[in-house]
Amino acid sequence: MGIIVQKYGGSSVATTDKIRAVAEHVLETKRAGHEVVVVVSAMGDATDELLAKAHEVARSPDRRELDMLLSVGERISMALLAMAIRERGAEAVSLTGSQSGIITTASHTNARIMEVRPFRVQDELEAGRVVIVAGYQGVSYKRDITTLGRGGSDTTAVALAAALEAEACEIYSDVDGVFTADPRVVADATNLPELGYAEMQELAESGAKVLCAQAVEFAKQKNIAIYAKKTGARTPGTVVRTNAPAAPSGVRGVAHEVKVASIATDTTPERVDAFLRAVHTAGVQLKQQTLSVRGAAAAFAAVVSMDEYGPVVEALVAEHFGPDALRTDLGAVSLVGEGITRTQDVLLGALDVLAHLNAQVVGMSTSSFRLTFLVPSSAVPDAVRALHAAMALEGRPEAVIA
Amino acid sequence: MGIIVQKYGGSSVATTDKIRAVAEHVLETKRAGHEVVVVVSAMGDATDELLAKAHEVARSPDRRELDMLLSVGERISMALLAMAIRERGAEAVSLTGSQSGIITTASHTNARIMEVRPFRVQDELEAGRVVIVAGYQGVSYKRDITTLGRGGSDTTAVALAAALEAEACEIYSDVDGVFTADPRVVADATNLPELGYAEMQELAESGAKVLCAQAVEFAKQKNIAIYAKKTGARTPGTVVRTNAPAAPSGVRGVAHEVKVASIATDTTPERVDAFLRAVHTAGVQLKQQTLSVRGAAAAFAAVVSMDEYGPVVEALVAEHFGPDALRTDLGAVSLVGEGITRTQDVLLGALDVLAHLNAQVVGMSTSSFRLTFLVPSSAVPDAVRALHAAMALEGRPEAVIA
């Protein structure tokens, strides 16, 4: 049997009791005959607590030093997990991102994995050990510690699975896989047994928190199946893989973000250029960017998540385009599914539903896999529930049969 | 002007407020024209909190994993200090033990520095930066993270000062240098303006907590002057250096430990050998070991600090010699001074003082720099006070004149 890569999120290792439970679960997999590589996140709120300390000593902490600081969270959980596994009589060793050969760009706090050289991981596996790797971090070619940004531990797990040619990559968290909508908003949202990579990427970029979009992109490139499961549960969860059968209605699920901002301005190409460079330097991710240039005039628009980038975005937009270019009282509701825009059916149906709710649609964007509607923040929960019902996502046939 | 290495202990960086104060102090030194290398310990009780977590997941945590876990404490404080210095407009960079070229043995939790290759430290200093180095840790030739044991940050500072040919090594803590006795026990203990390396080593090994014995040993080899100072104070503190003038009475100070154990057994050379190997593996440091072998019989004795090694020592002695070989209700009082045993004056005077107190002397050992008396734990504080007074250490001439 082959290598299994398992990733455990912050809520799964939040206490030493939970770490002991993870140790048991890892050893079950090992006893079933697999070689096991475990990727861990920081314990619970450890990263947020470190971040708060950073802001106590500096208004705008240096990003290299932030990486040095934040990378310790995973090191604590991995060392504790290794101890807990050894306590149960098995061999285990923890390895930092650097020791695991996770080589990244030098873009601190938002680095991308460039290459994985997992020689030491392979050596330790051959010696019969469970290998525990710090998620979310790597080492730059300058030999500095880097972190991968939000959801980075997922990316570590998938990248390692690819480099090790693993049999499977399992992502454990406190939710039972991917749902047709956020169950906290839609009571009858149902588990999705399987979906495609592009669908998962669009769901993740539209607000679904289960898997990080960059990790899915990596998995797609290397054709690695990702199993999203609930820690401690015996349910199958969700598999993200190639050739997942299409959703019958064309709609796989509904994702949403309650707080986004729209940027829209009539300006010059030079100003847009300067703004985009500043955005890149600040590590902000823009979505749904559109630009149309006519001679010396340029119309630029984009959407951005305010939960993640609020204050930075406000400052950058005010500096480059003036404060009026930003509208911050918005939310986004997205319908996601392979081929969702092949016909206009879903789009027209969704607009009907939103009109019926008196939810003003102040913006729209589409891709091959997604329709996104910008509506006032206050209208988001009702819009999600109404669209979920209208697209007949509750009690989906495959979920009922399975 | 040359390089100054400054080390700040855990109490000096216990809060983000204190870290900001350290940042100011470092920048004062930099503004005076020095290149500054700062070595930091973990914040306050951070290391003890991590250790408690380790014992929640494993009865006897693996030592490599303990090093992985405990090394994060210094990384947190160094990244925060770098941010705080940058916040004040100066350039600063934090470096791990590995990045600083601190190469150690592979003896986890108790590694020794074998070599310092401070190339990156030198590069960063040349670029005009304050360099902040994680104390207490290095990297083994196997490329694993190691820690140096108690007081290891002092050793890091002295070893770096030696490798960088620094002008001075300053050790900052919450006490104002080295005293004639612990001021919490002896109210009129006075500050020692200067003392020799061997005296400081003996004081440290006999219970004085200001400087770590291994660091002093390093300083002695490389002839580096160590300045022990109180963080935030303008007092001169203590300098440990070569050719310090001898103490007039021959006695430099009194050190003590309230909880030690004596090991004493009549056994065989083989059993002693097995015991010493087990002690080495467990990382326990024995003091004042004596062994006399006659044919197949061996009498072995030693003293050990119970605060540091209590449960381990009890288990090891019980396993190898039986529980009766250990006596744990003892304390140790030591008189330290260059040439203290050149005549028997001090020894006989001390025995008089202890007899007068009815403090039963259950053991004694001497070196060229030290007389140590084992007495019941309960007799230690009175013995320290009485010996301090008898040796006329209060209001010492040099302290009064200075």
Strands A145-147 and A137-140: antiparallel
Please, are residues B210 and B177 in contact by the beta-carbon 8 Å criterion?
Answer: yes
- Are domains A3-174 and A253-401 of this chain identical in fold? no
The helix/strand/coil state of B28 is helix
- Is residue B90 within 8 Å of B46, Cβ to Cβ? no
DSSP B196: -
Q: What pLDDT score does B366 carry? A: 81
Q: Supply the DSSP symbol for A191.
A: B
Q: Tell me which of A253-262, B6-15, B358-367, B371-380 is least confident.
A: B358-367
Record the tokens describing residue A33, joined without a space: 């005959």
Does residue A401 have a pLDDT over 60?
no
| Rounded mean pLDDT, A197-225 | 87
Angle of CA points A193, A199, A205, to nearest 5°: 120
Of A20, A59, A75, Cβ closest to residue B57: A20
User: What span, in angstroms and rounded, lies between the C-alpha atoms of A160 and A102?
Assistant: 8
Cβ <8 Å between B72 and A75: yes
Percent of chain A surpassing pLDDT 90: 59
Provide the b/e sequence for B201-210 (b: ≥16 CB within 10 Å): bbbbbbbbeb
In this prediction, residue B309 carries a pLDDT of 82
Q: Which residue from B9, B111, B110, B109 is spatially nearest to B65, judged by alpha carbons?
A: B109
| Chain B residues within an 8 Å CB radius of A99 | 143-144
Mean of all residue pLDDT scores within chain B: 90
The reply to whether residue B54 touches residue A19, judged by beta carbons under 8 angstroms, is no
Residue A402 above 50 pLDDT? no
What distance in Å separates the CA atoms of residue B315 and residue B326, rounded to the nearest whole number? 10
A62 vs B82: CB contact, 8 Å cut-off?
yes
Q: The domain A253-401: what is its CATH number?
A: 3.30.2130.10
Q: Which helix (H) or strand (E) holds B48?
A: helix B46-57
The vertex-A387 CA angle with A381 and A389, nearest 5°, equals 105
Report the candidate in A295, A216, A221, A208 with the shortest Cα–Cα distance to residue A252: A208
- For chain B, domain boundaries: 3-174
Tens-place pLDDT, residues B376-393: 999 999 999 999 999 888
Instruction: Please state the φ and ψ torsions of residue A199, each to the nearest 5 degrees.
Output: -60, -45
d(Cα A382, Cα A357) in Å, to the nearest integer? 8
**CA-to-CA distance for B214 and B195, rounded, in angstroms?**
16
d(CA B361, CA A6): 60
Record the pTM. Answer: 0.78
Closest-CA distance, A28 to chain B, in angstroms, reads 18
Sign of CA dihedral B194, B195, B201, B203: negative
Size of interface A-B (CB pairs under 8 A): 110
| pLDDT(B396) > 60 | no
Q: Give residue B401's pLDDT.
A: 33
Determine whether domain B3-174 maps to CATH 3.40.50.1100.
no
**Exposure on the CB side of residue B151, measured as CA atoms within 13 A:** 19
Determine whether the interchain pair A53/B23 forms a contact, defined as Cβ–Cβ distance below 8 Å: no
Does the pLDDT at position A283 exceed 80? no
| A42 confidence band (pLDDT: 50, 70, 90) | very high
Tell me: the pLDDT tens digits for B243-268? 888 887 789 999 999 999 999 899 99
Average pLDDT of chain A to the nearest whole number: 90
Residue B333's pLDDT is 95
Q: Which residues of B touch A (CB under 8 A)?
A: 16, 19-20, 23, 50, 53-54, 56-59, 61-62, 64-66, 68-69, 71-72, 75-76, 78-84, 86-87, 93-94, 96, 99, 143-145
Question: Residue A280 CB: number of other CB atoms within 10 A?
Answer: 13
Min Cα distance A50 → chain B (Å) is: 8
Q: For B189-240, write each residue's pLDDT tens digit.
A: 999 999 999 899 889 888 888 888 888 888 888 889 999 999 888 888 999 9
Q: What's the pLDDT score for residue B402?
A: 30
Which residue of chain B is at minimal alpha-carbon distance from A20?
B57
Cβ pair A83:B143 closer than 8 A: no
Which contiguous run of DSSP H or E holds residue B67? helix B63-70
**A399: pLDDT strictly greater than 50:** no
| Contact yes or no for B143 and A16 at CB 8 A | no
pLDDT, residue A309, reads: 82
Place of tokens 């090992």: A30
Q: Which residues pair with A171 in a beta bridge?
A: A7, A228
Assign B120 a pLDDT band (cuts: 50, 70, 90).
very high
Share of chain B above pLDDT 90, in %: 59
CA A373 to chain centroid = 21
The reply to whether residue A79 touches residue B65, judged by beta carbons under 8 angstroms, is yes
Which residues in chain B have Cβ-Cβ distances shorter than 8 Å to A58? Answer: 83-84, 86-87
Q: Which of B57, B82, B84 sits opposite A87 (nearest CB)?
A: B57
Helix (H, G, I), strand (E, B) or coil at B137: strand
Angle between helices A72-87 and B63-70 (to 10 degrees): 160
Give me the percent of chain B exceeding a pLDDT of 70: 98
pLDDT tens per residue, range B129-157:
999 999 999 999 889 999 998 789 999 99
Q: How confident is the model at residue B397 (pLDDT cuts 50, 70, 90)?
A: very low
pLDDT for the residue numbered B398: 42
B340 vs A64, which has greater pLDDT? A64
Please compute the mean of the pLDDT values over residues A54-82 and round it to a whole number: 94
Q: Would the pLDDT of A396 be above 60?
A: no
Mean pLDDT confidence for A268-294: 84
- The nearest alpha carbon in chain A to B20 belongs to A57
CA dihedral A16, A18, A24, A25 (to 10 degrees): -140
Would you state the pLDDT for residue A81? 97
Average pLDDT over residues B272-292: 84
Distance from CA of B81 to the nearest CA of A (A): 8
Å between A121 CA and nearest CA of chain B: 13
- How far is CA A250 from its chain centroid? 23
Cβ distance B171 to B130 under 8 Å? no
A129-175 pLDDT, tens digit each: 999 999 999 999 889 999 998 789 999 999 999 999 999 999 998 88
pLDDT of B283 > 50? The answer is yes
